[in-house]
Amino acid sequence: GIIREVGEVLGVRREGRLISLTIQRKAAAMKDLEVGESIAVNGVCLTLTQVKEKNFVVEVMPETLQKSNLGDLRVGSKVNLEKPLCLGGPLSGHIVQGHVDGVGRILKKVRVDGAEEVEIRAEPAVVKYLVLKGSVAVDGVSLTITKVATGTFSVSLIPHTLSTTTLGNKLVGERVNLEVDIIGKYVEKMIRRE
């Protein structure tokens, strides 16, 4: 959930029911990429199918297009990029798997003391796992929940997050990928077994 780079979509190509995305990268932040490895694009775990010096290609299958905002991407769209956590690497934020639970829509953005409060509408299947001061990934960014209400939740974005991710440029009405904290899902499953 710690974004390392904001990339830019250079190409969107339909291949049957799949979409192939070509994404520009900066060599320093996204070095050592290899075909077959995973990369998170707006919080969605995808497989690298081509890697070049300044860009890479990923393919998005129909199910992922339905459950995420990746189908909204166009040439010029900015995307959050994150390489997978490596064993022994620092765990910063919370555990983000890259398996999107739903798509939300930005309802409101308000500046408060240099930060930005963002209210997001989400499906009940997502909201049920959200708790005040808990974690949620929004377009792959690990964030702390500041408010939960019926059908909505809010997060606060600090200036660093606003400037180093795509969230600072998102507009009211735009769709965002949402992934809840996996721990809540495991707790629910354990409780249901008893």
Tens-digit pLDDT profile for residues 6-59? 999 999 999 899 999 999 988 666 678 899 999 999 999 999 999 998 999 999
The full length of the chain comes to: 194
- How would you classify the pairing of strands 115-121 and 175-180? unpaired
Could you give the CA distance from residue 185 to residue 177 in angstroms, rounded to a whole number? 17
Is residue 88 a part of any domain in this protein?
Answer: no
Same domain, 20 and 56: yes
Q: Give residue 155's domain range.
A: 102-193
Same domain, 54 and 127: no
In Å, how far are 68, 83, 130, 174, 178 from 137, measured between CA atoms? 13, 15, 11, 16, 6
Domains identified in the chain, total number: 2
Same domain, 179 and 126: yes
Cβ-contact 103, 176 below 8 angstroms: yes
Tens-digit pLDDT profile for residues 89-138? 656 665 666 789 999 999 999 998 889 999 999 999 999 999 999 999 99
